[in-house]
Amino acid sequence: MLTLLKLLKDGRFHSGEALGAALGISRSAVWKQLQHLEAELNLPIHKVRGRGYQLASPLVFLNAEDIVLHAASLPWPVHIFDSIDSTNAEALRLVDANCAAPFIVLAEQQTAGRGRRGRKWVSPFAQNIYYSVVLRIEGGLRQLEGLSLVVGLAVMQALRDAGVQGAALKWPNDVLVGQKKIAGILLELVGDPADICHVVLGIGINVNMQKAVDVDQQWTSVQLETGIPINRNYLVAQLSLRLQGYLHKHMTLGFAGLQEEWEQNHAWQGRAVSLIAGVNRIEGVVLGVDHQGALRLSVDGAEKIYSGGELSLRLRDDS
């Protein structure tokens, strides 16, 4: 089916006869594959008698050569997959197979994409960026302090570079435009963080997605915000360069050196929020983050510090 899709990617009309000849199959077999494409990948295809078949909009597939063309100084190898369970899961498998870090894993589609707290990450085919980069960390817990927040800064700046000027951060791992989510971050660690470990920086960005029925929260995409389709290879390249730069700053200065920049770009700085921790709900006002990336809240007039992977921050209704 993907071979057929690549023949249609230019967004022009192709006759069933020409498609069948290119694939070595009958016109009826072409028709069946087109039906599968629409059903499984949710890609609308126009069918016009006498003209043939046309994708509703052209597709630009992820391509390692194009990415390197836009980021010539990037030293990270790029692994691209048509469809996998998740880029983070594949990255961890490559670590187990002794693939030397750092490296990038990308996919056109995830069948089991994951967000924080076990949430599903909706991953339509060839529309968004599903991206993981693996880092090898040697002997220093300090290198992990505030790391997810540093990744957030890189994602936010790459989105602003792409024209999404309203992109801002939400503690700990989201990028928003207004109240709508445009990107999320999921970090996973394997090994001994006090000795040698690998950390996977998983990033999902809504790029050209324009509708999705399975997303359970407000969302937006780069195309919805800018009004134009985005070349994902260019955005991957810019993201990687931004990430490389911020990771270097983090290694040199620690998160303390980026703390002020993060707070200046926190969408909910100074806002009244509810912090959800399991069945507990804490009401407070956001003061910022500390030098390790933990959330600072004013609770009943006193400053409290919160960190942990199972925390969820929400705006209070009265804020």
| All structural domains of the chain | 2-55 (1.10.10.10), 64-263 (3.30.930.10), 268-315 (2.30.30.100)
Task: Compute the Cα dihedral for 296, 297, 303, 305 and give only its sign.
Answer: negative
Strands (E), 86-234: 103-110, 129-138, 167-170, 174-177, 180-191, 196-205
Number of other residues whose CB lies within 10 A of the CB of residue 42: 13
Closest to 87 (Cα-Cα) out of 46, 34, 53, 133 = 133
3-state helix, strand, coil in the chain (%, to 5): 35, 30, 35
User: What's phi and psi for 203, nearest 5 deg?
Assistant: -130, 130
Q: What mean pLDDT, rounded, does the chain reach?
A: 91
Q: Which residue has the tokens 């693939």?
A: 99
Task: Out of 114-128, 163-177, 184-198, 215-229, give the one with best mean pLDDT.
Answer: 163-177
pLDDT (mean) for 21-28: 92
Please say if the pLDDT value at position 194 is more than 60. Answer: yes
Q: Which of 114, 116, 170, 242 is catalytic?
A: 116
Confidence tier at 319 by pLDDT (50, 70, 90): very low
Q: Which of 51, 93, 136, 314 is catalytic?
A: 314
pLDDT digits (tens, 9 = 90+) for 149-179: 999 999 999 999 999 999 999 999 999 999 9
What is the pLDDT at residue 199?
96
Task: Compute the Cα dihedral for 21, 23, 25, 26 and give only its sign.
Answer: negative
What is d(CA 168, CA 4) in angstroms, rounded to the nearest whole number?
A: 39
pLDDT (mean) for 292-313: 92
Can 314 be counted among the known catalytic residues? yes
Q: Which of 114, 170, 181, 232 is catalytic?
A: 181
What is the pLDDT at residue 147?
96
pLDDT (mean) for 14-37: 91
Confidence tier at 120 by pLDDT (50, 70, 90): low
Phi-psi bin for 248: left (phi > 0), alpha (psi -120 to 50), beta?
Answer: alpha
Instruction: Quote the pTM value.
Output: 0.90
Can 181 be counted among the known catalytic residues? yes
Q: Which residue has the tokens 């199959």?
A: 25
State the Rg of the chain over Cα.
21
